[in-house]
Amino acid sequence: MESHDPGLQYGRTPEEPVNLIIQGGTAVTMVPGQQPIRNARVLIKKDRIMEIGPSSEIPFPKSSSMETIDAESAIIMPGLVNAHAHTAMTLFRGFADDLPLKEWLFEKIFPAEANFLSPETVYRGALLGCVEMIRSGTTCLADGYFFQDQTVRAVHASGLRGLLAQGIIDFPAPGVPDPKQNIHMGKDFLEKWHHFSHRITTGLFCHSPATCSKKTLRRSHEICREYDVPLQIHLSETEMEVAEILRAHGTRPAHYLDQLGLVDSHLIAAHGVHLDKSELKCLHEKDAGLVHVPESNMKLSSGIAPLEEITAMGLKTGLGTDGSASNNNLDLFGEMDTAAKLSKVLTRRPDATKAYQVLNMATLGGAAVLGLDKETGSLEKGKKADIIVVDLKSPHLCPMFDPVSALVYSAGGSDVKDVIVDGVSLMREKELWSLDQDEIMAAVREIAKKIR
Ligand SMILES: [Zn+2]
């Protein structure tokens, strides 16, 4: 091989075996500062990206064991990161709509969870959520819920990557009838699954500063530090929560968590609708992550988080759907569109929160919030092969002047045709490879008959 061979400039030995090739179309890599790559080629070896660049610079390998995904008339991009979900809540999709959060949660969702959640139903609901996420291009999710062993089982079976956290709340909860046992259950969860799979990281999920006591919050944080895992929490979702915390503790929710020592780089706070400037500054200075959940906030009329202000501060920010009972789907493409437009409504500035910013929140930014950005969230040599291919052949994607604009403002989850996680195909040409969709949907319909 002569020295001018472009393959060599990427450091690849030409004979090195390749398992999978994705080629043609435009690669939106989400590597900061990198322009989209036209007529791209991606070489995948085992679970990692071996090469990515223009086809003209990366020779087609000669290995016989490789498979090829045709991405012509398509966009190749990092799989999406859903940074806040309760996957098994697909069971309650459309069960209680058009209600205020407190009534929705305490009169509908909590009682339904108490009556209908079991290890079996959580497993089935989580599988359905995984099907939906794969179909709409999510390759990595952060989840906090109960009977969480079952979500681990489902995510593991689906082939997705996940940060899965045991729910902690100071009320009797599904699988934790005695709240005095909640910390103990959380620790058991971490002990059991901490080293289970390289695709699954674990954590704890404190429901909120209003539904967990000081002692519970402090102890959860200590355990997360002990295991070096993230602590997820709902934070400042409603004005009522802010008023409750102010009344009970004399300070606003983020400062209250900070006083307890919870605000650090391991904290993942979802919602953040009513955080004031000093709270945002506190989260930023301590390198905590914030997950924007616009559709759930809209549906429960919780308010509009000041996204433009949050991202302008440089706070680590991801995007999430929340559970299907308050959204009511897990499609991050829809969430990106909503996030960008809602920010323009709030600021009354059409140039606020540009398409690239929300795409970053749904990929590399979300991965950073989850502490997984060294492995996933962008298409780079050496990173995990967590990749989706978005088909551009539908009329709503024609013509395409700018791939980022097309992804955020025109595409939907149903435009995703191929999904690869850890170098493994979970969906090819819209056909699921890892899960049996018909069987999963039939099982959930049976559970729904009882819920109804
Ligand atoms: Zn939530």
Q: Which residues pair with 27 in a beta bridge?
A: 37, 76
User: For position 130, what pLDDT does the model report?
Assistant: 98
Quote the ligand 1 centre to 168 CA distance (angstroms): 13
Between the CA of 291 and the centroid of ligand 1 the distance, in Å, is: 10
Provide the residue count of the chain.
Answer: 452
CA 386 to ligand 1 center in whole angstroms: 24
β-pairing verdict for 20-23 and 67-70: parallel
Determine contact, residues 341/294, Cβ cutoff 8 Å.
Answer: no
Identify the helix (H) or strand (E) that includes residue 80: strand 80-85
> Residue 85 Cα, ligand 1 centroid: separation in angstroms?
6
Ligand 1 centre to CA of 270 (Å) is 7
- 449 C-alpha to center of ligand 1: Å? 25
pLDDT of residue 439: 98
Question: Which tokens belong to 14?
Answer: 């030409």
The alpha carbon of 435 and the centre of ligand 1 are apart by a number of angstroms equal to 25
**Measured in angstroms, how far is the CA atom of residue 233 from the centroid of ligand 1?**
8
Q: What does the pLDDT read at residue 16? A: 59
Residue 326 CA to ligand 1 centre (angstroms): 9
3-state secondary structure of 376: coil
Query: CA–CA separation, 177 vs 165, rounded Å?
Result: 18
Give residue 48 CA to ligand 1 midpoint distance, Å: 31
- The pairing of beta strand 431-432 with beta strand 80-85: unpaired
Long-range contacts of 149-152 (CB under 8 A, 24+ apart): 149/119, 149/189, 149/192, 149/193, 150/88, 150/119, 150/120, 150/122, 150/123, 150/126, 151/87, 151/88, 151/122, 151/123, 151/126, 152/193, 152/196, 152/200
Count of helices and strands (H, E) across the chain: 17, 18
Distance in angstroms (rounded) separating the CA atoms of residues 268 and 289: 5
Residue 26 C-alpha to ligand 1 middle, in angstroms?
34
Q: How far does residue 269's CA lie from ligand 1's centre (Å)?
A: 10
Give the strand order in the sheet containing 161-168: 80-85, 138-145, 161-168, 200-206, 231-235, 267-271, 289-292, 316-319
> What are 160's two structure tokens?
């997705």
- CB atoms near residue 2 (< 10 Å): 5
Task: Sketch the domain layout of the chain as residue ranges.
Answer: 6-78+385-432, 80-369
Q: What is the pTM of this model?
A: 0.95
> Do the strands 67-70 and 48-54 form a parallel or antiparallel pair, or are they unpaired?
unpaired
Distance 447 CA to ligand 1 centre (A): 22
The DSSP result for 158-216, as a single string, is: HT-EEEEEEEE-SS-BTTBSSGGGHHHHHHHHHHHHTTSBTTEEEEEEE--TTTS-HHH
Judge whether 6-78+385-432 and 80-369 match in fold: no
* 3-state DSSP assignment of residue 131: helix
d(CA 263, CA 288): 6
Amino acid at 413: G
pLDDT tens string, the chain, 452 residues long: the values are 333 333 333 334 445 567 999 999 999 999 999 999 999 999 999 999 999 999 999 999 887 678 999 999 999 999 999 999 999 999 999 999 999 888 998 999 999 999 999 999 999 999 999 999 999 999 999 999 999 999 999 999 999 999 999 999 999 999 999 999 999 999 999 999 999 999 999 999 999 999 999 999 999 999 999 999 999 999 999 999 999 999 999 999 999 999 999 999 999 999 999 999 999 999 999 999 999 999 999 999 999 999 999 999 999 999 999 999 999 999 999 999 999 999 999 999 999 999 999 999 999 999 999 999 999 999 999 999 999 999 999 999 999 999 999 999 999 999 999 999 999 999 999 999 999 999 999 999 999 999 98
CA of 268 to the centre of ligand 1 (A): 11
CB atoms within 10 A of CB 195: 9
Between the CA of 271 and the centroid of ligand 1 the distance, in Å, is: 8
pLDDT of residue 64: 63
CATH topology assigned to domain 80-369: TIM Barrel (3.20.20)
Please state, as a whole number, how many other Cβ atoms lie within 10 Å of the Cβ of residue 10: 14
Q: How far is the CA of 424 from the centre of ligand 1 (A)?
A: 29
Instruction: Compute, in angstroms, the gap from residue 184 CA to the centroid of ligand 1.
Output: 22
What pLDDT sits at residue 76? Answer: 98
Q: CA-CA distance, 129 to 151, in Å (whole number)?
A: 10
Looking at domain 6-78+385-432, its CATH superfamily turns out to be Urease, subunit C, domain 1 (2.30.40.10)
At 6 the pLDDT is: 33
Percent of the chain beyond pLDDT 70?
Answer: 96
